[in-house]
């Protein structure tokens, strides 16, 4: 019974975090298409809602249930010798730290800069510069591919590190392509009309 409950809460955490990251991705994509400050501001606010309302609770649920599962059913620190489980933990730890530092802090700064731009009635140079930053854009586009690798590791449970390495490199390649292509599709070179 304990294993079943923990697995349920672990899957629930994955669903919450995954749906939140998809919401963040879609809302960010929409914000890149907008040229008016008011709807852009609303899109940026919605990103924060997805992070705080779904991604963070899902990640915390995954952290607690996953730790409990490892301690109770996977012999504690011996999980390090199980490639699929160690890979899941390593990628989750990376995603948890990166998501709550670089990506989340970036979108919080975007929300603050957007409020300043709304007060000024125009896109400020600070907002335009922040929107073009490469590192937070890359880490944001890395979130979903890494989540898919984590889920694939748990579902397939490979016995070697090959799947982890190939999956991680594929996730980095996908994030790189999105970082290069998506900002070019929706450039912020022209100033949106104030609203």
So what's the pLDDT on residue 100? 83
So what's the pLDDT on residue 139? 94
| C-alpha–C-alpha distance, residues 62 and 15, integer Å | 10
- b (16+ CB within 10 A) / e for 57-83: ebbebbeebbebbbeeeeeeeebeebb
| H-state helical runs in the chain | 2-33, 37-50, 56-73, 83-98, 104-120, 125-131, 134-156, 162-185
Domain extent listing, the chain = 2-185
So what's the pLDDT on residue 51? 92
| C-alpha–C-alpha distance, residues 55 and 154, integer Å | 19
So what's the pLDDT on residue 157? 96
So what's the pLDDT on residue 35? 83
10-residue block means of pLDDT along the chain (195 residues)? 92 96 94 89 93 94 96 92 97 92 90 93 90 92 96 96 98 97 77 44
């Amino acid at each position: 019974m304990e294993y079943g409950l923990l697995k349920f809460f672990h899957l629930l955490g994955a669903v919450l975090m995954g749906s939140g990251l998809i919401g963040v991705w879609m809302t960010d994509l929409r914000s890149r298409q907008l040229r008016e400050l008011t709807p852009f501001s609303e899109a940026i606010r919605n990103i924060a809602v997805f992070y705080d309302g779904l991604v963070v609770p899902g990640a915390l649920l995954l952290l607690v249930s996953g730790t409990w599962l490892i301690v109770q059913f996977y012999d504690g620190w011996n999980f390090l010798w199980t490639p699929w489980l160690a890979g899941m933990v390593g990628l989750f730890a990376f995603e948890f730290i990166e998501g709550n530092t670089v990506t989340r802090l970036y979108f919080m700064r975007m929300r603050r800069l957007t409020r300043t731009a709304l007060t000024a009635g125009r896109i400020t140079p600070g907002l335009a510069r922040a929107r073009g930053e490469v590192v937070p854009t890359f880490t944001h586009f890395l979130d979903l591919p890494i989540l898919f690798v984590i889920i694939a590791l748990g579902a397939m449970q490979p016995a070697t590190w090959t799947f982890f390495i190939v999956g991680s490199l594929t996730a980095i390649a996908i994030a790189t392509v999105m970082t290069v292509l998506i900002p070019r599709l929706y450039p912020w070179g022209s100033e949106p009309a104030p609203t």
